[in-house]
Structure 1
């Protein structure tokens, strides 16, 4: 007989034990005990529902709090692009027009967007719901805020899916609740829920796909196959990078076959899943295709866009937004950002320990097993073993595959955060909580440590955006007519705040720090420095990335070094930050060492330098 990876056998009830086997005088006591147990079970179920609703409400609050964090200034470049694209979209008059990529006005390629590498499901969804004008009549603002609200709702729904997945795999209510709680307080999902971008849309449909994959193994019903296909097709309709998850689906079907031994049925289910994926993808994202509904053909323009994206996202292109990735350590760089910033140190450390524990468990199980017994072992896999194995493989697969990419951005790892939460919760329930026993103080300390980072991060949404604060400072301290600098590839300051505070009252000279350090670039840059009265750096985009490449930017690297060491004719007069702040203690946590994208959108560091000498020397 084979055994589960947990080495746990199901308990067998004793059929001879019943009320009839008790002495007559104790039958009443036995019946009363059963009634008390029933009441206790009902109370426990009610308590679990109450706790879960509390977690769900808390998660949603964390995700919508400060939803208009930039006060309609549209300070996220990806949001601006999606908002402008969505605003231009027009609803087709017929279903046939919607499905026709060549004429549909929901196709970005037909509304002057020549470069579009996302799916259209997010933009189409936001276009539909923004018609309700939940955030006012000005459609440009309304689209962005509607997109953020949908993003928050989808990520809150992921909390529900985590609870369902954990229950299906482990059948442990406490573990399900803790898994949901851990994800609800994870900082990266909280931050991305405040943005109208495709990441949360993609994450939701990938987790939904995993849920139906788990249901397929436990329920063995064709309806779960169709729902799996529809969900994964929707994920592809959000972003083509969902394909990273397809090997997990294939592995799931392989394990499903080893469990059922029904090759014909499993192959039929797999073909049904693939068919459902194609239909869902084609209907929900027509722009990726060309021609008729079936057979679907991928749009040559979309393929060309993907190739262009790959060419600029490489270490040879020196594309300005991608310079930050040069000279980063593969795997270690994204792992550091996940542990320290995406999760926060308490959760991050628990994740590292929990993943190591799962790897050791799997290794120990197969160690020294005769090869001929492997098949028997696989045949005995339970839903618990099946789910844990898929989760572990998915986490490791995405960490390695994305961790060695040129652009290992934190947001690309969002689809493993729900599963990291499950492993953290499992390790806590099995290894940490038994040590706590009934010590309330230890449990309180545990949860307080987990809450410090998310609540500290949330503080950035309690105050004005740092670029708005910097704009206020400029209007108050710099007279009209003054010449200010503005870096290309960054947002210019000041921002328009009201009728009396407009950027047009200042002169602006555009600087190009990301241009190659040629003689012409150096000459233009120095001439710009001679013209300006104030050097305004509205984020760390340039000064934090360029100095890391002195061989490519010798002039700019020396310029920033001299600027910050006070060797130039510029004096720092303002430094505006909006760091996460620990509640009550009011201690700021500088997060500049994190990945650029983690700070540059919703809480960048702004530096303003005043020219103190009119004669600028090269």
Structure 2
């Protein structure tokens, strides 16, 4: 943890002299500096401001610009789309909400400046990546034991791309933390079959989606975990062997269930995860909904338009200069090479993908199905994002934690076998 903190905090505030060299970071900083923590939770949930604005933030502005809310306006001052600068905001609002709350909590004597927001945002990105490291340890320990957990944490602490991304105030590190939490609780759900794990996995999924809408693809995690939990108990035994911890169900879960009870269990787990995800997303991404009524789930038109807008930019429909660099790139191969060579480093990158393939072989050969939860998340997300027109390296950060867990497992297993092999 200390090694990870050192690498991630090294010259955190001044590496670029605060010049905003990262365009997304610059935009998010300039968005967050305009936000305010509302006076009440009800104001926060009121994502759409009345027209005309009853109490604009600048009453002296021209009429066409007099639509930014003040704290007295009775609507959300944490919704970026309520402000002129960020009315086309396309990122998840949960990271800017958390950062603005942290900034106003830490800086009480004056209004936070853009530099204040930048430093707090980068510190938050570092903090969330340290939380990801902790969850990587817990995930690997749950799957493969304490030694593999420690190795996975050490490998993640030194992984290049997470270190780099921790120096930017963007939404990526926030989302990666919650996706990894969804994986951890998903694996526990599959192993123990408890509703509490399902709710927590769902809540982590909802929070991840509130950081970045594309992370909603992690819905595969609680779905697969619930199916593994139900079907494992229908079989009434651990799947795939008895030596490694990953093949064993929790002791209280080894009693066989009939198919009906197994189906009821899987359905209950799915329902609990779904409710947890919906509740968390409804609160964390309140700007996505039209009404302060928590039971009203109708999406806000500006939010929908923003998602469609960014989709057109990412898939190449809109011809704009930042996308020209992706012309002629080979799907899957180009982002894979970048991940292995630059994102992880060749030794770790190769070990990660070899471990992922080895897990697939074990599932086929020994039916070690608890591998399935992290394995399928990697397969689904990589299968989708690997063919996208805009393969930014940071888009693949959500699969770094499980890949590094597979790398640690593969290296530890290979090292154990080499240690048992006589040298002469």
Q: Give the 3 Å change call, closer, same or farther, for CA 228–430 of structure 1 in structure 2.
A: same
> What 5-or-longer segments of structure 2 have no aligned partner?
49-74, 235-261
Does 1:76 find its partner at 2:16?
Answer: no
Could you tell me whether the CA contact under 8 Å between 1:119 and 1:285 is conserved in 2?
yes
> Quick one: distance in 2 between partners of 1:90 and 1:355?
44
Render the CA deviation track for 1:206-256: whole Å, top value 9, x for unaligned: 111111112223333322222222211111111111111112321221111
Q: Give the 3 Å change call, closer, same or farther, for CA 437–259 of structure 1 in structure 2.
A: closer
> Quick one: distance in 1 between partners of 2:268 and 2:363?
30
Paired position in structure 2 for 1:363: 364
> Quick one: distance in 2 between partners of 1:147 and 1:387?
36
1:495-506 correspondence to structure 2 within 5 Å: none
Render the CA deviation track for 1:425-469: whole Å, top value 9, x for unaligned: 111111135425799xxxxxxxxxxxxxxxxxxxxxxxxxxxxxx
Could you tell me whether the CA contact under 8 Å between 1:205 and 1:232 is conserved in 2?
yes
SS at match of 2:211: coil
Q: What displacement does 1:257 show? A: 1.4
Q: Give the 3 Å change call, closer, same or farther, for CA 404–166 of structure 1 in structure 2.
A: same
Out of 394, 405, 410, the residue aligned to residue 422 of structure 1 is: 405
Larger Rg: 1
Paired position in structure 2 for 1:139: 113
SS at match of 1:88: coil
- If each structure's strand is expressed as a fraction of its own residues, which one has the higher value? 1
Does 1:65 find its partner at 2:66?
Answer: no
Could you tell me whether the CA contact under 8 Å between 1:207 and 1:415 is conserved in 2?
yes
Paired position in structure 2 for 1:519: none
Paired position in structure 1 for 2:203: 230
Out of 36, 42, 56, the residue aligned to residue 96 of structure 1 is: 42
Q: What displacement does 1:316 show? A: 4.5
Paired position in structure 1 for 2:282: 282
Give the TM-score normalised by structure 1. Answer: 0.57
Q: Give the 3 Å change call, closer, same or farther, for CA 315–140 of structure 1 in structure 2.
A: closer
- If each structure's helix is expressed as a fraction of its own residues, which one has the higher value? 2
Paired position in structure 2 for 1:201: 174
> What 5-or-longer segments of structure 1 have no aligned partner?
1-55, 366-376, 378-384, 440-618
Q: What displacement does 1:353 show? A: 2.6
Could you tell me whether the CA contact under 8 Å between 1:315 and 1:326 is conserved in 2?
no
Q: Give the 3 Å change call, closer, same or farther, for CA 151–286 of structure 1 in structure 2.
A: same
Could you tell me whether the CA contact under 8 Å between 1:232 and 1:277 is conserved in 2?
yes
Paired position in structure 1 for 2:294: 293
Out of 84, 87, 100, the residue aligned to residue 127 of structure 1 is: 100
Give the TM-score normalised by structure 2. Answer: 0.81
> Quick one: distance in 2 between partners of 1:280 and 1:138?
28
Q: CA RMSD in A?
A: 2.0
Paired position in structure 2 for 1:252: 225
Q: What displacement does 1:342 show? A: 0.3
Out of 357, 368, 377, the residue aligned to residue 394 of structure 1 is: 377
> Quick one: distance in 1 between partners of 2:365 and 2:265?
33
Q: What displacement does 1:287 show? A: 0.6
> Quick one: distance in 2 between partners of 1:398 and 1:142?
35
Could you tell me whether the CA contact under 8 Å between 1:313 and 1:319 is conserved in 2?
no
Q: Give the 3 Å change call, closer, same or farther, for CA 272–392 of structure 1 in structure 2.
A: closer
Paired position in structure 1 for 2:333: 332
SS at match of 1:226: helix
Larger relative contact order (CA 8 Å, sep ≥ 6): 2
SS at match of 1:413: helix
Render the CA deviation track for 1:49-83: whole Å, top value 9, x for unaligned: xxxxxxx1111111111102112222211111111
> Quick one: distance in 2 between partners of 1:255 and 1:346?
32
Q: What displacement does 1:349 show? A: 2.3
Does 1:111 find its partner at 2:83?
Answer: yes
Could you tell me whether the CA contact under 8 Å between 2:125 and 2:174 is conserved in 1?
yes
Paired position in structure 2 for 1:595: none
> Quick one: distance in 2 between partners of 1:391 and 1:234?
18
> Quick one: distance in 1 between partners of 2:96 and 2:112?
17
> Quick one: distance in 2 between partners of 1:339 and 1:70?
26
Q: Give the 3 Å change call, closer, same or farther, for CA 183–74 of structure 1 in structure 2.
A: same
Paired position in structure 2 for 1:155: 129
Render the CA deviation track for 1:147-180: whole Å, top value 9, x for unaligned: 111111111111111111111112x221111011
Render the CA deviation track for 1:353-374: whole Å, top value 9, x for unaligned: 3233223333334xxxxxxxxx
Could you tell me whether the CA contact under 8 Å between 2:176 and 2:397 is conserved in 1?
yes
Paired position in structure 2 for 1:575: none
Does 1:342 find its partner at 2:343?
Answer: yes
Q: What displacement does 1:137 show? A: 7.6
Count residues in correspondence.
364
1:427-506 correspondence to structure 2 within 5 Å: 427-435=410-418
> Quick one: distance in 2 between partners of 1:349 and 1:216?
29
> Quick one: distance in 1 between partners of 2:161 and 2:327?
23
Paired position in structure 2 for 1:181: 154
Could you tell me whether the CA contact under 8 Å between 1:133 and 1:139 is conserved in 2?
no
1:478-557 correspondence to structure 2 within 5 Å: none
